[in-house]
């Protein structure tokens, strides 16, 4: 059977899901980290001892709430179409980033500070376009879309244009340049065996369902046997691997070096490359998180 990770505790409190995922992510790469234990009042969650130095993180989970209920209701009442589907997720992501900034009051300006969001809903609160708009404004970063609909490797946004465009000034970083946000991270759950398990078990599931003498117990026994066979060679079918995406802030007082997460070659990162005067990215952005 798949191993289920129990919620970790911090003192008398249980870690949020986002905090737990970040801890497991860092542990996977043997990166030293610890709780922030300095001062009183509002304080960030965690210090990461990365190869480039200390990174201070504040985790914020995005929960299902009244906004999500409203989106579902409106969508169902309009035949599955929600004309302004991007606006509420955008507003909620910005709010959670702002909540993380509240922990900055006691920090020195030369600190690397990274709010880390975790999306617990099925809505696109933390997908690429929403986070890009939350940080830089609706059109400050433009994507080239090819004939096949694939995104190019170029993010066209010259630095001088970002400083002058009204769209940029409407973006989150455009309104908070005095706040030392080095980057924004997205921690998400990757399930590497999900598709393989579906393909592996589907035929068995269909065969049992097609039998006229089938019983619930017969189906359960067949699936359990198939699961044991699958997990003996490929690992838990419900395996969860925490993954991280990082959107860098080139205008921070202390920008986060792109080498900050070099210990993870699969970490998706977007940053401003001054040698070509545009935003570039490393790695493949997940379809959803």
Judged by DSSP in three states, 151 sits in strand
> Looking at residue 89, what is its pLDDT?
66
List Cβ neighbours of 209 (8 Å cut-off, separation of 6 or more). 219
List Cβ neighbours of 37 (8 Å cut-off, separation of 6 or more). none
pLDDT in tens, 9-51: 544 457 899 999 999 999 999 999 998 776 655 677 899 998 8
| 4 inside domain | no
> Looking at residue 244, what is its pLDDT?
94
**Residue 120 in tokens:** 């617990």
Are 97 and 124 members of one domain? Answer: yes
Are 147 and 258 members of one domain? Answer: yes
Q: Of 109-123, 163-177, 257-271, which gets the smallest average pLDDT?
A: 163-177
pLDDT, greater one: 242 or 133: 242
| 289 inside domain | no
**Residue 220 in tokens:** 């359960």
Are 13 and 65 members of one domain? Answer: yes
Give residue 238's pLDDT band: very low, low, confident or very high (50, 70, 90). Answer: very high
Are 101 and 209 members of one domain? Answer: no
Q: Is the pLDDT of residue 59 over 80?
A: yes
Are 214 and 179 members of one domain? Answer: no
Angle at 29 between CA 132 and CA 15, to 5 degrees: 70
> Looking at residue 122, what is its pLDDT?
76
Are 201 and 276 members of one domain? Answer: no
| 223 inside domain | yes
Are 166 and 230 members of one domain? Answer: no
Task: Quote the domain boundaries for residue 75.
Answer: 9-191+240-282
DSSP category for residue 215: -
Percentage of residues in the chain having pLDDT higher than 70? 65
Q: Of 142-156, 166-180, 275-289, which gets the smallest average pLDDT?
A: 142-156
Q: How many domains, the chain?
A: 2
């Amino acid at each position: 059977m798949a191993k289920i990770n129990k919620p970790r505790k911090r003192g008398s409190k249980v870690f949020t899901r986002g905090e737990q995922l970040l801890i497991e992510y860092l542990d996977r790469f043997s990166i030293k980290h610890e709780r922030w234990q300095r001062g009183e009042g509002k304080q960030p969650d965690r210090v990461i001892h990365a190869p480039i130095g200390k990174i201070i993180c504040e985790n914020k989970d995005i929960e299902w709430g009244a906004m999500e209920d409203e989106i579902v209701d409106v969508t169902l009442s309009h035949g599955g179409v929600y004309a302004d589907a991007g606006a509420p997720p955008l507003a909620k992501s910005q709010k959670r980033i702002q909540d993380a900034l509240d922990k900055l009051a006691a920090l020195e300006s030369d600190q690397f500070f990274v709010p880390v969001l975790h999306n617990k809903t099925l809505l696109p609160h933390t997908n690429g376009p929403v986070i890009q708009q939350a940080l830089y404004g609706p059109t400050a970063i433009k994507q080239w879309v090819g004939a096949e609909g694939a995104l190019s490797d170029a993010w066209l946004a010259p630095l001088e244009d970002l400083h002058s465009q009204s769209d940029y000034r409407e973006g989150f970083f455009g309104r908070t340049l005095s706040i030392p946000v080095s980057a924004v991270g997205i921690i998400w759950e990757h399930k590497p065996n999900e598709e393989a398990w579906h393909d592996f078990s589907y035929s068995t599931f269909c065969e049992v369902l097609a039998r006229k003498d089938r019983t619930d117990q017969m189906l359960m026994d067949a699936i359990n046997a198939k699961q044991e066979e699958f997990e003996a060679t490929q690992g838990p079918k419900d395996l969860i691997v925490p993954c991280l995406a990082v959107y860098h802030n080139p205008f921070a007082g202390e920008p986060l070096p792109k080498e900050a997460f070099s210990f993870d070659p699969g970490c998706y990162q977007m940053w401003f490359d001054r040698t070509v005067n545009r935003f570039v990215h490393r790695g493949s952005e997940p379809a959803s998180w």
